[in-house]
């Protein structure tokens, strides 16, 4: 049971989370219709579901055009908001996601109770409420906050199922894990990894419990696999948004800084004439005092593969062409990595993984380049500090009686790192795992406070 004082503190934390989210709604609003082009697809799919019940960007068309890129989890969430408050109501989506953010903070508290006392579990909830990247994305029509909610809920219900030995909670955990995968396809292996880990931690004592969770997840994913098999003749989570593009992008990540690579991509998109493009790229290389050869390879590959995409007005042909393009991205990405495997591995370790976990800049995208470098470095340092604290917490916990719970809470970090190690990394990709990391950071903070003798001692009565 949670006592009255704890409930009051949790209420204050939720109010603070809502205020934090409201500030980012105001901050992000100028970018709602000018930045983050990914929003367009989710809005179209959400509107399609809300108005026709069809999962397509062209509802009511004479020929049904299946969706080859996005999965239905987040569009279904958006569709519910649109159904209640009106199509394309970005403000309603942002407000709903603010409430979701408060829910994430509450779940962080419940995760913390599995590995530490309530005071530091409250600290974990408070740190989550203060972690700006979550409400930053909550103000946009993007999957990040919904995926964060679902993965955090998966972890909370999984630990509750283990603590209670409850099949009902285990089945719920399976449904939540599947829902996470249907929101972000990269999490499709979470049911196998998480429930397998939980079975191993208890030496297979609860294998029936976790088998039930895995079966529930499989049954929830089956209709979506069937959809892709019927329309795309393949059993996959995301037919045209698979490993190809992500691996190709990873083969170039770290060759130049992010701003320069973005500039090269924009240049390739702006100049269809190859001769004009080459001249512009050579000019950029001269300005940067860099070798133009790899830059030319990059923009040529980008243009060649993008050229495989069909006219998006014919959504059926466009869907098929995106699948072909993703396969070509993968082939070319493999070839790029093989040219310099040592350099590719070095860039993945020194650039890819740090970008994944400590490089979030929760500031309006249209003005982020105007931020002082010192401010950006401070943001990165704070994120690095959370990881260090989390490592301290895990290191101490695995020597104590709650080592199983600590290892389980480390699963999101390990899974996200392993899956993205070879793929393009963006800091927002780690966001779904951050509440678990923040809880472990609170555990690390408790270790430091207790070791330093700073924790208030209870006076004898």
Q: Residue 455: its pLDDT value, please?
A: 54
Q: Residue 6: its pLDDT value, please?
A: 93
| Res 132 pLDDT > 70 | yes
What separation, in Å, do the N-terminal and C-terminal C-alpha atoms of the chain show? 24
Residue 295 dihedral angles phi and psi, to the nearest 5°:
-65, -40
Residue 103's CB: how many other CB atoms inside 10 A?
Answer: 15
Reported as a single tens digit per residue, the pLDDT across 49-83 is: 999 999 988 888 888 888 888 999 999 999 999 99
Reported as a single tens digit per residue, the pLDDT across 163-207 is: 999 999 999 999 999 999 999 999 999 999 999 999 999 999 999
Q: 3-class DSSP state for residue 144?
A: helix
Q: Residue 179: its pLDDT value, please?
A: 98
Number of helices and strands in the chain (H, E): 21, 0
Reported as a single tens digit per residue, the pLDDT across 209-231 is: 999 999 999 999 999 999 989 98
Reported as a single tens digit per residue, the pLDDT across 413-431 is: 999 999 999 888 999 999 9
Segments of 233-376 assigned E as strands = none
Q: How far is CA 285 from the centre of its chain?
A: 33
Residue 135 exposed, middle or buried by CB count within 10 Å (0-12, 13-18, 19+) = buried
Reported as a single tens digit per residue, the pLDDT across 317-369 is: 888 888 888 899 999 999 999 999 999 999 999 999 999 999 999 999 888 88
- Domain chopping of the chain, boundaries: 4-238+340-451, 239-339
């Amino acid at each position: 049971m949670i006592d009255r004082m704890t409930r009051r503190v949790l209420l204050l934390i939720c109010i603070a989370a809502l205020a934090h989210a409201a500030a980012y709604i105001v901050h992000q609003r100028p970018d709602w219709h000018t930045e983050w082009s990914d929003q367009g697809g989710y809005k179209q799919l959400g509107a399609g579901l809300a108005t026709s019940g069809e999962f397509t960007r062209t509802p009511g068309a004479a020929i049904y055009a299946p969706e080859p890129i996005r999965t239905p989890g987040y569009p279904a969430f958006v569709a519910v908001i649109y159904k209640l408050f009106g199509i394309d109501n970005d403000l309603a989506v942002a407000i709903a996601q603010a409430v979701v953010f408060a829910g994430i903070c509450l779940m962080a508290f419940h995760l913390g109770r599995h590995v530490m006392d309530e005071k530091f579990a409250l600290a974990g909830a408070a740190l989550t409420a203060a972690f700006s990247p979550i409400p930053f994305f909550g103000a946009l029509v993007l999957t990040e906050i919904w995926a964060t909610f679902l993965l955090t809920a998966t972890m909370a219900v999984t630990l509750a199922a283990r603590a209670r030995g409850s099949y009902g909670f285990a089945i719920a955990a399976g449904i939540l894990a599947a829902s996470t995968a249907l929101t972000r396809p990269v999490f499709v292996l979470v049911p196998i990894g998480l429930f397998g880990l939980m079975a191993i931690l208890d030496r297979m004592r609860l294998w029936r419990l976790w088998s039930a969770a895995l079966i529930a997840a499989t049954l929830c994913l089956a209709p979506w696999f069937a959809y892709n098999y019927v329309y795309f003749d393949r059993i996959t989570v995301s037919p045209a948004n698979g490993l190809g593009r992500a691996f190709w992008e990873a083969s170039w990540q770290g060759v130049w800084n992010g701003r320069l690579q973005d500039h090269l991509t924009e240049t390739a998109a702006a100049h269809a004439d190859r001769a004009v493009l080459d001249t512009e790229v050579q000019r950029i290389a001269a300005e940067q005092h860099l070798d133009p050869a790899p830059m030319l390879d990059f923009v040529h590959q980008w243009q060649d593969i993008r050229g495989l995409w069909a006219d998006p007005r014919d959504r059926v042909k466009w869907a098929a062409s995106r699948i072909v393009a993703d396969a070509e991205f993968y082939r070319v990405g493999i070839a790029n990595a093989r040219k310099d495997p040592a350099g590719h591995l070095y860039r993945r370790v020194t650039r890819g993984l740090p970008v994944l976990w400590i490089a979030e800049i929760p500031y309006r995208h249209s003005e982020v380049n105007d931020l002082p470098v010192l401010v950006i470095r401070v943001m990165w340092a704070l994120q690095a500090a959370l990881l260090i604290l989390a490592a301290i917490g895990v290191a101490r916990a695995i020597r104590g009686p709650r080592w199983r719970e600590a290892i389980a809470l480390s699963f999101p970090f390990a899974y996200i790192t392993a899956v993205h190690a070879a793929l393009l990394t963006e800091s927002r990709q780690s966001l779904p795992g951050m509440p678990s990391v923040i809880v472990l950071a609170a555990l690390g903070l408790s270790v430091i406070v207790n070791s330093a003798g700073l924790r208030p001692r209870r006076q004898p009565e």
